[in-house]
């Protein structure tokens, strides 16, 4: 295939890295030597897609490796098949599951007959969120093509939270310096994690604003890129992010779908995911190719960029807004849904307080489901609400399956929950308050009868060719006007044939990873 230029501007790139950079021979040799010194072996994308391919010798070593430690062997846990962190007597994920951990939400909770299934992202190592896969995908593609020197370069990770943490983790265990660039208003838990992992305090850069202030992150990256040692790994424009999820997350979700339909057949009706960097939506492209699933992108209603060309601020942490990511395959997306952060804030309280859990139990939700809701953070709840809206809008039945991801767990939002409790429930969150949250943010959403205020705050659009072009064109203002990408490079992404041309990349990267590992092992 033909690639575009490697670096179109400091903040973004249309690079796809399908061949070795002749100018990167020195960087490549330095990387090999660094990895040899530190005993680092890289997993292939094929191994992350199917962990049974990981050598037994490495799997055996993992029994003695802390799942959350900066140990390079944890690279072989950057996939969806890890055992639960809290398995009694097995604190280090000594084995892998044959099917990714997931939850099927019952109709007692969702109010719709369709089957809604989410894979748990907090089974991933180190950061307990699936964005560590995106970080690995982005750095390894540069590393094995000679485009990153871990002995000299600083890996810059612009993010609204989890990707930056994933980047810092991957950088540290690869023996290089990682820098997190994220808005100052993100959850306290994200910054506490970064403080534990970084060695240089100035490697955490707090930009203005909160979840919706992505341009401010780009501006800071443009400044940092003036130093040639700073390599910007922008998740919003690195196509290796998209391909990592297409190659690894998509098949993992297909495995979940096959599992839940083994004894109860059903069609895969849709894949639903909030659009942060749009990387996870790459899994939807895979599921559309493999299973004809429709792809549904979700955004915060308070910042309805795709829905209404809108703007604003919100608290569904994990979604970046006010622009269309370069790696979003817009012309392959079938629906856009807006979810209010009021719903995600309040349902997080419902799911994680004694009064809320009692109401869930009283409404017929099984204890094991109630207990599992702790593994769903803000964007996970957002995905759930969008899946319910999809099922309602398309009137999906008991033979229809909607799949999504629970990006991270509620433990990242304990401090945010405290804020919500103090601002909304000064007198305490009792069963009356819990019942009201249930009614306003779950019960009526799944009810096909009369609407109320909650349903009116959930907006959606099915996308025809005109709507897809409208959303695609919104990206012009970020990537062409602000970031300087040439119009032909911007426009080429409108064509599905161009995206299809990317599908072979992970196989080529795997060949390079094997060659790189062989060089590391050589005496």
Query: What is the reported pLDDT for 63?
Result: 86
What are the C-alpha distances in Å from 413 to residues 189, 317, 367, 377, 419?
A: 7, 9, 22, 7, 10
Q: What is the mean pLDDT of residues 495-503?
A: 95
Mean pLDDT, rounded, for 14-24:
84
102-124+241-462: in CATH 3.40.50.1100: yes
Confidence band for 199, pLDDT divided at 50, 70 and 90: confident
Q: Does the structure show a pLDDT above 70 at 503?
A: yes
pLDDT at 3: 32
Beta strand 294-300 pairing with 204-207: unpaired
For 71, what's the count of Cα atoms within 13 Å in the CB-facing half-sphere? 16
Q: What is the pLDDT of residue 518?
A: 97
How high is the pLDDT of residue 6? 38
What value does the mean pLDDT take over residues 83-110?
81
State the average pLDDT over residues 230-254.
Answer: 96
Lowest-confidence region among 84-88, 227-231, 307-311, 361-365: 84-88
Residue 386's pLDDT is 96
**pLDDT at residue 456, rounded to an integer:** 42
Encoded tokens for 231: 């390599």
Kindly state the average pLDDT of the residues 22-40: 95
Q: Give the model's pLDDT for residue 180.
A: 95
pLDDT at 407: 93
pLDDT at residue 16, as a whole number: 82
Instruction: Decide if pLDDT at 294 tops 80.
Output: yes
The neighbour count for residue 444, using CB atoms within 10 Å, is: 18
Confidence of residue 85 (pLDDT cuts 50, 70, 90): low
Which pLDDT score, from 0 to 100, does residue 447 have? Answer: 53
pLDDT digits (tens, 9 = 90+) for 103-149: 999 999 999 999 999 999 999 999 999 999 999 999 999 999 999 99
| pLDDT confidence tier of residue 17, bands split at 50, 70 and 90 | confident
Judge contact between 336 and 490, C-beta under 8 A: no
Q: How far apart are CA 213 and CA 184, in angstroms?
A: 10
With 90 as the cut, is the pLDDT of residue 373 above it?
yes
The band of 462, judged by pLDDT with boundaries at 50, 70 and 90, is very high
In angstroms, the CA 222 to CA 40 distance is 31
Position 449 scores a pLDDT of 40
Please tell me the least confidently modeled range out of 120-129, 346-355, 435-444. 435-444
Reported confidence tier of residue 245, pLDDT bands at 50, 70, 90 = very high
CA–CA dist 405, 162 (Å, integer)? 14
Q: Give me the pLDDT at residue 458, please.
A: 58
Q: What is the pTM of this model?
A: 0.94
Which residue shows structure tokens 């997306």? 333
Tokens linked to 393: 């809008």
Q: What is the pLDDT of residue 491?
A: 96
Cα angle 367, 369, 373 (rounded to 5 degrees) comes to: 120
User: Which pairs from 474-479 meet CB under 8 Å and 24+ separation?
Assistant: 474/305, 474/306, 474/309, 474/323, 474/324, 475/323, 475/324, 475/325, 475/326, 475/328, 475/330, 477/323, 478/215, 478/323, 478/324, 478/326, 479/12, 479/237, 479/326
Residue, of 241 and 446, whose pLDDT is higher = 241
Residue 71 has pLDDT above 70, yes or no: yes
pLDDT, averaged across the chain: 90
Residue 9 has pLDDT above 50, yes or no: no
- pLDDT for 457 equals 41
pLDDT of residue 2: 30
Between 249 and 413, where is the model more confident?
249
List, for residues 377-389, the tens digit of each pLDDT value: 999 999 999 999 9
Q: What are the residue ranges spanned by the domains of the chain?
A: 102-124+241-462
The answer on pLDDT for 163 being more than 90 is yes
Q: What does the pLDDT read at residue 337?
A: 95
Q: b or e along 122-158 (b: 16 or more beta carbons within 10 Å of the residue's beta carbon)?
A: bbbbbbbbbbbbbbbbbbbbbbbbbbbbbeebbbbbb
> Which among 52-61, 90-99, 207-216 has the top mean pLDDT?
52-61
pLDDT score at 8: 36
| Statement: residue 307 has pLDDT above 70 | yes
What residues have CB less than 8 Å from 505, skipping those under 6 apart? Answer: 16, 17, 18, 141, 239, 240, 243
- pLDDT beyond 50 at 272: yes
Q: Please report the pLDDT score of residue 10 as a whole number.
A: 34
pLDDT value, residue 94: 56
Q: Residues of the chain with pLDDT > 70: what percent?
A: 92
Query: Confidence class of residue 210 from pLDDT cuts 50, 70 and 90?
Result: confident
Per-residue confidence at 195, pLDDT binned at 50, 70, 90? very high
Q: What integer is the mean pLDDT of 427-443? A: 92
């Amino acid at each position: 295939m033909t690639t575009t230029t490697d670096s179109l501007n400091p903040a973004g790139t249309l690079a796809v890295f399908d061949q070795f950079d002749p100018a990167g021979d020195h960087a490549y040799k330095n990387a090999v030597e660094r990895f040899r010194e530190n005993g680092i072996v890289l997993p292939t994308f094929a191994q992350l897609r199917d962990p049974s391919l990981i050598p037994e010798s490495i799997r055996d070593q993992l029994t003695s490796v802390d799942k959350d430690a900066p140990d390079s062997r944890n690279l072989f846990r950057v996939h969806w098949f890890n055992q639960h962190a809290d398995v009694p007597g097995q604190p280090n994920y000594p084995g892998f599951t044959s099917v990714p951990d997931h939850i099927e939400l019952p109709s007692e909770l969702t109010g719709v007959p369709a089957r809604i299934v989410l894979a748990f992202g907090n089974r991933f190592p180190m950061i307990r969120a699936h964005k560590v896969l995106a970080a690995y995908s982005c750095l390894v593609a540069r590393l094995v093509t000679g485009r990153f020197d871990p002995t000299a370069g600083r890996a810059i990770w612009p993010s609204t939270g989890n990707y930056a943490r994933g980047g810092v983790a991957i950088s540290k265990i690869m023996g290089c310096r990682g820098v997190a660039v994220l808005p100052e208003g993100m959850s306290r838990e994200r910054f506490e994690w970064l403080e534990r992992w970084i060695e240089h305090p100035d490697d955490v850069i707090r930009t203005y604003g909160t979840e919706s202030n992505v341009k401010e992150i780009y501006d800071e990256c443009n400044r940092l890129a003036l130093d040639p040692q700073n390599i910007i790994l922008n998740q919003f424009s690195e196509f290796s992010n998209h391909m990592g999820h297409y190659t690894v997350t998509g098949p993992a979700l297909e495995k979940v779908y096959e599992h839940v339909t083994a004894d109860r057949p059903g069609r895969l009706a849709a894949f639903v995911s909030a659009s942060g960097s749009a990387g996870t939506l790459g899994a939807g492209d895979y599921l559309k190719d493999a299973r004809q699933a429709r792809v549904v992108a979700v955004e915060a209603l308070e910042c309805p960029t795709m829905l209404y060309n809108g703007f604003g601020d919100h608290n569904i942490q994990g979604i970046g807004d006010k622009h269309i990511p370069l790696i979003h395959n817009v012309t392959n997306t079938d629906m856009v849904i807006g979810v209010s952060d009021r719903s995600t804030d309040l349902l997080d309280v419902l799911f994680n307080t004694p009064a809320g859990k009692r109401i869930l139990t009283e409404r017929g939700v099984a204890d094991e489901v109630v207990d599992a809701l702790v593994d769903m953070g803000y964007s996970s709840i957002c995905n759930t609400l969008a899946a319910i809206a999809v099922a309602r809008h398309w009137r999906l039945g008991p033979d229809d399956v909607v799949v999504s991801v629970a990006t991270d767990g509620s433990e990242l939002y304990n401090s945010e929950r405290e804020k919500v409790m103090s601002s909304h429930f000064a007198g305490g969150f009792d069963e009356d308050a819990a019942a009201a949250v249930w009614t306003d943010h779950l019960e009526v959403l799944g009810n096909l009868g009369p609407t109320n205020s909650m349903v009116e705050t959930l907006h959606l659009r099915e996308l025809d060719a005109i709507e897809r072009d409208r959303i695609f064109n919104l990206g012009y203002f970020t990537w062409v006007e602000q970031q300087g990408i040439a119009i032909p490079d911007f426009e080429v992404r409108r064509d599905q044939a161009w995206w299809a041309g990317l599908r072979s990349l992970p196989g080529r990267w795997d060949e390079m990873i094997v060659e790189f590992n062989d060089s590391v092992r050589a005496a």
